[in-house]
Amino acid sequence: MVLAVVDAAGDAILLDLNVDLNGGAYSVLVNNKSWLNSGPYAFHFNDQWYSSSDGSLSLVASAVNSGEDILGVYKETALTWLADSNFVIVTTFKSYFPEPILIFSQYFLQELQNTSVGSNTEVVSSFPTFKIEPSNFHYYSYYNTFATPQIGKWGPGTSYTGGAQGGVPLVLFDPSLSTLVISPLDNFMVGIQTISAHLNQFSCGLQGKIASIPASFSHSTIITASTGVANAHHYWGGLLTKFYGKNPKNVNDDFTVKYLGYWTDNGAYYYYNTEIGKTYDQTMVDVYKYITSINLPVRYYQYDSWWYYKGNTKGLLLWEPMPSVFRDGIAALQKKMGDAPVVLHNRWFENDTYYYTKMGFPFVAEDDVGYAIPLTIDPFIYLMQKAKSWGLLVYEQDWLVDQFLRMESTQNNVHVAKNWMLNMDKAALTIGLNIQLCMPLPSHILQSAAMYSVTQIRASDDYQRQIYNKNQWAIGYTSILHHSLGVFPFKDCFWSSNETQSGCVQKDCREPNSVLETLSALLSTGPVGPADKIGFLDKGNLLSCTSSNGELLKPDVPAQTMDLAFSTGFTTGPTLFNLSSTYSGHFYEDEDGNSREVYWHYVLAADTLIPFSVQLQDLGEELNGKFLFFDYFDTNTQLEPFDIGHPLNIPPLFPDTSQVSFKYYILFPIVSSGYSLIGERDKFAVASRQRFGNIVHSADGTMKVDVFGQHGEQVTISLYYQPTSLIEQYTCSIPISGSSVLTCSTSPAHSCHC
C-alpha cells in the first residue's frame, strides 16, 4: 500500500511525499515529479550497522495519525523498526497542510551504546536517506568557518561536502528555480547531513563521533519547498525561528546594529598594535579624541582579544583587563571616552581557565588539546554580569569553530555543545545583553534559531586589505542564510580610507577598495565598524552611511545574492556570482486614495566577469512597474528607464591586481505624473526608512513626504519632476520634534518646501 500525503502548496509549488507502509520506501516529489528517492534506514550501535537493506533492521509495525503543532496541521506516518530482537527505533514522516513542509524524525526508545564510527563526516543514524541519482539540479550549501558558500551540480560525483563542518542547509534547485531546502530541525550541533561513506548515499542524522544515544532521544530533519533560492531560504528559516519562538531581530533590538561603531578586531589598525610608545589605554583615548575632533558620530567601541588574560593555547584564562593594557579597567576608560558602550570579544576556554580551576564552575576540560567547555550557565552569568557594569552591550563569542571541533566532548555527546550555546544565550538574556557569534560553522548559525539574544553573526572571513583578500566584502550569499534566520550579518571591520596607513602590522597598509568595503558594510544592515588609524577615517565615506547622530541609514533587509545569479549558473555552469540586491520600502497613497508599498531598489555587482540583464521580476516587481535608475558612483550618469521593455543591463566587470570592479545602481519608482522621490543622494541607501516615511499624493497634485532626522540636521532631498524630466533638490531643516514634511505642489507653479 502506498500512502499519498496530501499535496502541500505554497508559492505555486507542490511538495508531496509517498511512503510504502509495507517496506518503508519513500520519495519526495516537487510539482508532481520525483526529486528524491529513499535509500536504506540505517543505525550504528553495539559497534555494528543495522540496516533495512540487509534485514538486520526489520519493519514490524506502521501507523497513520494526524495532529497539529506550532507549524500547522499534519498527517503523520510512523514506522517501527526492530534490531537485535529487542532494540526498537521509530521513524516518522509528517506532512503539513497547506504548507510545503515535511518533517522526518528518529525516535530512540532505549539507550544505544557504542554508536561511534569515529568520523564526524559520517552518521551513526541515517533517516532520511536519499539516493544520489542523475538530475538536472544544482545544489547550494555552506561549509566550514563563516559558512563559506558551496555550489555545484547534484548527482553522482557531486562536489557537495557535508559532515560536522557544513552541508546545512542543503538547497536543491532546478532551472526554473523550484527549490528544496533540507536541514536539521533540532540538535543542530550534532545533527549533520553528509554523503555517507558507508551507504554512499545522502544521509541525515547524528554525527559519527556520538558515543551513545540516550533513551527517549529524538532527532528531526525538515524539508521545505518554494520558488526561488532566496525565497526558499526565507521560508525555511521562518519555520525554524517559528518552531523555536524567536522573532526576527530589527535594528532597535541592538544599539550596535543601529549606530556607527569603531572596531579593533583582526584587520583593524589597532589590532594588537598601539600608537608608538603608548599603551592601549592612551591609544583608545586618542582614538576617541580624534573621532570627536572630526565630528564623526561614532557611538560605541569594540575591543578585541588583546585586552584579557590568555593561556598556553591562547584561550581564555580570565576575562578581565590586563593592567598592562587597561590600567584602571574598562569602565574607567569609557569614562574618558564619553561613556560610550562597548562590544567585548571572547574566545575559547583554556583547560585551566580561572572559572574552572579557581571558581569551581563545572567544565569538561580536555588537557590533551588544552581546551575546556562550560557545562552550566554559571560562568557566563558571572563574566557577563561583571562586564555589563563596564558598559558592555554585545558579548562577541569568537572562535566557535575551534571550541567545537578541537574538543571530543562537544562531538561525542548529544547535549554538551547544544547546552554550551543555550547557556550562553540564557545568560545574555538574564543579564540583558546581545550576542554576536563569530567564526561560526553552519551548525552554529542554525543553532541561533533557538538563541534569543543572538542579534548578529559574522558573515565574512577576517578583514584584510583587498590586495590580499579580494572577496572579504562579498557576503551576498551568506547574508541569505543569516537573514533567513532573523539575525543581522556582520561584514567585519574595514578601513574607510584608501590612503596608506603606515605602521600597520598586517601585510599591505593601504585599502584600495575602501568605498566598496564601506558600501558592503552598510548594505549588510549589520554593524558598520571602521577600523582606521588616527587621522585616516574617511568622514565623507562614513557619513554616506549615517545621519548626524550616527544612526545608520540602511536598506530594509541585507543585500542578498539575486536569484538571477543562481539561474545563470545553468548556462555558465554553477558559479558564485557577486550580484546582490536589496531595497527600501515606503507606504504610498496615490491621488485616488489607493495605498500600497513602493520600493527603491539597490543593486550591487562586482567582478562578475559576464553581463547580466536585470528584469522587473528579478526584483520582485510587477510587470507594469515603472522606474528610473542611475549609476550611483558615475558622475556622468544619466537617468535611464527600467520597466518591462527596458531592463537594467550590467556590463561584465573584470578585476585588476588590487582593484575590484563594481557597479552600484539605484532604481526609484515613478508613481506620479508630477514629482517622484529619489531620496538623499549623498547616502548609499538613498531612501532608507530611517530618513523617510509615508508618501502621499493628493488629487490636486500635491505630494507630501515624511522626513526624519536630528534637531538642526540639514537633509538635502532629490526629486524627479516628470514634466521637465529634471532632478530638483530641496533642503529640509529638521525641527526639535525630529520630523518634518516635504510638501511639493505642481500648480500654479511647481515647487517644494518643508
Q: What is the CATH number of the domain that holds 12?
A: 2.70.98.10
pLDDT score at 659: 87
Q: Tell me if the bond preceding 442 is cis, omega within 30° of 0.
A: no
Write down which residue in 394, 426, 458 finishes a domain: 458
pLDDT score at 263: 99
The pTM (predicted TM-score) of the whole model is 0.97
pLDDT score at 1: 21
- 587 shares its domain with 715: yes
- Ramachandran quadrant class, 525 (left: phi over 0; alpha: psi -120 to 50; beta: rest): left
- 324 shares its domain with 442: yes
Residue 334 in any domain: the answer is: yes
Question: Hey, how many other C-beta atoms are within 10 angstroms of the C-beta on 386?
Answer: 13
Residue 469 in any domain: the answer is: no
Distance CA 165, CA 160 (A): 12
Residue 446 in any domain: the answer is: yes
Residue 556 in any domain: the answer is: no
Distance CA 506, CA 154 (A): 40
Q: Tell me if the bond preceding 440 is cis, omega within 30° of 0.
A: no
Number of domains in the chain: 3
Q: Quote helix, strand, coil % in the chain, to nearest 5.
A: 20, 35, 45
pLDDT score at 470: 65
Q: Are 476 and 576 in contact (CB under 8 A)?
A: no
Find the domain containing 630 and state its range.
578-753
- 19 shares its domain with 96: yes
- 312 shares its domain with 398: yes
Write down which residue in 403, 438, 458 finishes a domain: 458
Residue 14 in any domain: the answer is: yes
pLDDT score at 469: 59
- 607 shares its domain with 692: yes
Helix (H) or strand (E) holding 382: helix 378-388
C-alpha cell at 225: 519547498
Residue 506 in any domain: the answer is: no
- 222 shares its domain with 349: no
What residue has cell string 590612503? 499
**CA 358 vs CA 147, 353, 361, 373, 754: distances in Å:** 36, 8, 8, 15, 64
- 234 shares its domain with 358: no
pLDDT score at 656: 81
Given a cut of 50, the residues of the chain with pLDDT beneath it are 1-11
C-alpha cell at 599: 520600493
pLDDT score at 386: 98
- 200 shares its domain with 69: yes
Helix (H) or strand (E) holding 79: strand 72-83
- 55 shares its domain with 139: yes
**CA 628 vs CA 384, 470, 537, 666, 667: distances in Å:** 50, 31, 33, 8, 6
Distance CA 485, CA 719 (A): 36
**CA 550 vs CA 301, 339, 544: distances in Å:** 13, 16, 11
What residue has cell string 533557538? 450
CA angle 479, 485, 489 (to 5 degrees): 35
Tell me which DSSP letter residue 271 carries: T
Burial of 372: CB neighbours in 10 Å, binned 0-12, 13-18, 19+: buried
Distance CA 126, CA 303 (A): 44
- 230 shares its domain with 330: no
**CA 674 vs CA 237, 667, 698, 726, 745: distances in Å:** 41, 18, 11, 11, 9
Residue 263 in any domain: the answer is: no
Question: Hey, how many other C-beta atoms are within 10 angstroms of the C-beta on 491?
Answer: 28
Write down which residue in 208, 225, 244 finishes a domain: 244
- 205 shares its domain with 312: no
Residue 554 in any domain: the answer is: no
pLDDT score at 6: 32
